[in-house]
Amino acid sequence: MTSVVLRDLTRRFENVTAVDRLNLEINSGELVAFLGPSGCGKTTTLRMITGLLLPSSGDVLFDDRSIVTVPTEKRGAVMVFQKHLLFPTISVGQNVGFGLRMQKVEKKEMDRRVSEMLELVKLPGFENRRAHQLSGGQQQRVALARALVVHPKVLLLDEPLANLDANLRLEMRELIRHIQRELGITTVFVTHDQEEAVMLADRIALMFDGVLQQYDVPQAFYQQPSSVRVAHFFRNDNLLGGTRRGDQVETALGVLQIDAARQRILDGAVLVTVRPEDVNLTPNPEAGNCVEAKVLLQVYMGTHTQVQLDVAGHTWLVHGTADFQARVGDPIRIQLPQPRIWLLPVS
Ligand code: ADP
Ligand code: MG
């Protein structure tokens, strides 16, 4: 079991700072997702953890010991890539056993561990197949077995499911989560897909432009995003300007009561947000925190209705029940439930 610490980790390429003073602690046995749009520095960070790339400055620690000067093959961190790089001319068993052969593990022990790993990735008895006889999903599972067979301290997965179709991706996510728990291996999973990160990770590190934006449990990205940009990445663009004074926010639509203890923003200018699924479209007449809005559009989605509203000049998206009915252009009263209001800094 190995903990990983990134300390002020920075990597520059000519005029680009790909990773900028990244500070992160990953607990032993934890699965952390590095999440962010393409080009935000996820792969660069992984490569510095494995040793494929030297940092410009900063440090990487395994179990509190700096490993920056330790060569890749001695770090005990293995990486699985988006494109499986299996050797096409040798068997699946030989592919999986490759790392063990490098370590000069004896044949009998090697065969035992290879079978064990193929069983773990749900490909029992596949030892004698060739890589080109396997589907994309099977090849990715062989790549996973090959990485795990050497009992790495840290497993690094760089968008390993990006090339798979939607159903297979779902199945593979479950398999990865199952194996990771079973082996208790410290794992970093890179993805640009926020849903994938939420499903898999104990904690998510969200990066934009090489800078860590928020490091938290998945729920926090929905309920307590750190900025407008983070909220947007998690599909919440519902915003209303205001001024916070204690447990109230004054807005153009009246005064809202907030749960003061929950907030991170001090008194002054704020942006009020409530997630699409948390706005109440059919409040009781006497309910608190009701504001006026206008229906702009509604789309029946089967399980719910997506309603676009004008809220004091801002466009909000709200999930109503499947049978929600309103006419476009109608004024409606909506409730922003006090426990669901989150205040964001004005950027
Ligand atoms: P991600 O994996 O999040 O898509 P990367 O870590 O691959 O992002 O890249 C981060 C930034 O660093 C990008 O702007 C990319 O163009 C740049 N970059 C990555 N590797 C190199 C390199 N070898 N030379 C120059 N620029 C690079
Ligand atoms: Mg990448």
Domain boundary among the residues 228, 245, 263 is at 228
Domain harbouring 243, CATH code: 2.40.50.140
Alpha carbon distance 237, 272 (integer Å): 11
> Same structural domain for residues 165 and 191?
yes
> Same structural domain for residues 281 and 192?
no
Q: How many CB atoms lie within 10 A of CB 223?
A: 16
Lowest-confidence range among 13-17, 80-84, 196-200, 237-241?
A: 80-84
Domain boundary among the residues 169, 193, 228 is at 228
Domain that holds residue 248: 236-344
The rounded Å distance from CA 202 to ligand 2 centre is 21
pLDDT at 282: 95
How many domains, the chain?
2
pLDDT at 87 over 90: no
Give the confidence band of 194 by pLDDT, cuts at 50, 70, 90. Answer: very high
> Same structural domain for residues 257 and 318?
yes
> Same structural domain for residues 15 and 92?
yes
Alpha carbon distance 16, 29 (integer Å): 33
Pocket test residue of 9, 10, 13, 206 for ligand 1, highest count of atoms within 8 A of CB: 13
Biggest CA-to-CA distance, the chain: 76
Domain harbouring 25, CATH code: 3.40.50.300
pLDDT at 298 over 90: yes
Domain boundary among the residues 198, 228, 258 is at 228
pLDDT at 84 over 70: no
pTM of the model: 0.94
Nearest CA to ligand 1 atom 20: 44
> Same structural domain for residues 219 and 273?
no
The rounded Å distance from CA 76 to ligand 2 centre is 21
> Same structural domain for residues 313 and 221?
no
The rounded Å distance from CA 17 to ligand 1 centre is 9
What is the three-class DSSP state of 146?
helix
The rounded Å distance from CA 51 to ligand 2 centre is 16
Ligand nearest to the CA of 42: 1
> Same structural domain for residues 197 and 110?
yes
> Same structural domain for residues 211 and 240?
no
For residues 132-157, give the mean pLDDT: 92
Cβ < 6 Å from ligand 1: which residues?
13, 16, 18, 36, 38-44
Average pLDDT for the chain: 95
> Same structural domain for residues 148 and 275?
no
> Same structural domain for residues 205 and 122?
yes
> Same structural domain for residues 281 and 307?
yes
> Same structural domain for residues 147 and 208?
yes
pLDDT at 186: 97
Q: How many CB atoms lie within 10 A of CB 287?
A: 12
